[in-house]
């Protein structure tokens, strides 16, 4: 008769230890693979949004002030003609989000359809907790009162969402102080924000100063957390003339410690109507 012998206590403890080590190793491998996958998805999503920002926004801003036969002041420096019907109808500065509003004559609307004549506004709005850059177009329209009399107003000509997960959207305007006889005519001598640009409105409207280009920057985040490492978050990110740090930034909260991926994209665009008129 063969004697049956079970595992000793020491052997059982060794087996449990080896099993635990294998489980821990498998769990860590799974977490590393999952984090790598999340990081790759985050990079892909941010890069897609970044490429779209370069493509669509660059082409859209390039036609600011488009006119088939003459150069006009491209950006709206005074919202008075539109204020009754359109919110934020002029260029504006914000701690995180600037607003860009410009005029086009026989240009394209937010969907790329032409000809469109009116104003286009780009600004960031929060929708379901997501900061989204939107394009809205407005055209001069007419209506009829109940008594049969006609009235005019600036009405919507279409709007669309462009980019989600926008942490910051900043714009600087390229000003040319040179005259036609100067060598630097047509090139920006200074890039400045909307507030300073509007302060020069009288000279811009008189043609003494021209807005010849625009520099924009977008700070984007990934859709979801891509890292659990607290050292993964940046200490600060600079976008054009603004630097954002963790926490409060002049009344706006920025949370770089949420495990998301953050990337900046910027470009400088020359305005077509002014370049073609040189």
Residue 13 lies inside a defined structural domain of this protein:
no
Identify the H or E element spanning 53. none
Q: Look at the chain and report how many structural domains it folds into.
A: 1
Neighbours of 148 (CB within 10 A): 6
The pLDDT value given to residue 277: 41
Cis peptide bond upstream of 115, omega within 30: yes
Measured between alpha carbons, how far is 250 from 242 in angstroms, rounded to an integer?
Answer: 11
Measured between alpha carbons, how far is 123 from 132 in angstroms, rounded to an integer?
Answer: 8
246 and 235 Cβ atoms separated by less than 8 Å:
yes
Cβ-Cβ contacts under 8 Å for 111 (sequence gap 6 or more):
158, 160
Residue 4 lies inside a defined structural domain of this protein:
no
Residue 32 lies inside a defined structural domain of this protein:
no
| Backbone CA torsion sign across 124, 127, 131, 135 | negative
Residue 260 lies inside a defined structural domain of this protein:
yes
pLDDT tens, per residue, the chain with 278 residues: 566 566 677 777 777 777 777 788 777 776 666 666 555 665 666 677 777 777 888 889 988 888 877 778 899 999 998 988 999 899 999 989 999 999 999 989 998 888 999 999 999 999 888 899 999 999 999 999 888 899 999 999 999 888 889 999 999 999 999 988 888 888 999 999 999 999 999 999 998 999 999 999 999 988 877 776 767 778 889 999 888 988 766 666 788 888 788 888 889 999 876 544 43
Give the CA radius of gyration of the chain: 27
- Bridge partners (DSSP) listed for residue 126: 131
Predicted TM-score (pTM) of the model is 0.81
Residue 210 lies inside a defined structural domain of this protein:
yes
Domain carrying residue 178: 41-275
Residue 64 lies inside a defined structural domain of this protein:
yes
Nearest to 262 by CA among 228, 230, 229, 236: 236
Residue 18 lies inside a defined structural domain of this protein:
no
Residue 243 lies inside a defined structural domain of this protein:
yes
């Amino acid at each position: 008769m063969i004697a049956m012998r079970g595992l000793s206590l020491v052997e059982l403890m060794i087996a449990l230890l080896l099993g635990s080590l294998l489980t821990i190793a498998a769990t860590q491998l799974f977490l590393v693979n999952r984090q790598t996958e999340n990081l790759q998805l985050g990079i892909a999503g941010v890069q897609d949004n970044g490429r779209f920002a370069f493509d669509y926004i660059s082409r859209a801003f390039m036609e600011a002030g488009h006119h088939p036969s003459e150069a006009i002041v491209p950006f709206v420096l005074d919202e008075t003609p539109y204020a009754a019907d359109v919110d934020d109808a002029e260029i504006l500065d914000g701690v995180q989000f600037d607003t860009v509003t410009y005029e086009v004559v026989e240009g394209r609307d937010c969907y790329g359809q032409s000809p469109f004549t009116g104003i286009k506004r780009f600004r960031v709005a929060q929708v379901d907790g997501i900061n989204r850059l939107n394009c809205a177009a407005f055209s001069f329209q007419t209506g009829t009162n109940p008594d049969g009399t006609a009235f005019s107003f600036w009405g919507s000509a279409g709007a669309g969402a462009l980019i989600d997960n926008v942490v910051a959207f900043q714009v600087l305007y390229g000003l040319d102080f040179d005259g036609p006889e100067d060598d630097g005519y047509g090139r920006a001598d200074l890039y400045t924000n909307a507030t300073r640009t509007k302060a020069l409105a009288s000279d811009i409207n008189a043609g003494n100063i021209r807005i010849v280009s625009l520099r924009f920057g977008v700070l984007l985040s990934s859709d979801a957390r891509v890292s659990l490492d607290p050292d993964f978050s940046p200490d600060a990110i600079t976008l054009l003339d603004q630097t954002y740090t963790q926490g409060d930034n002049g009344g706006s909260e920025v949370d770089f410690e949420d495990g998301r991926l953050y990337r900046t994209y910027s470009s400088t665009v020359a305005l077509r109507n002014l370049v073609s008129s040189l």
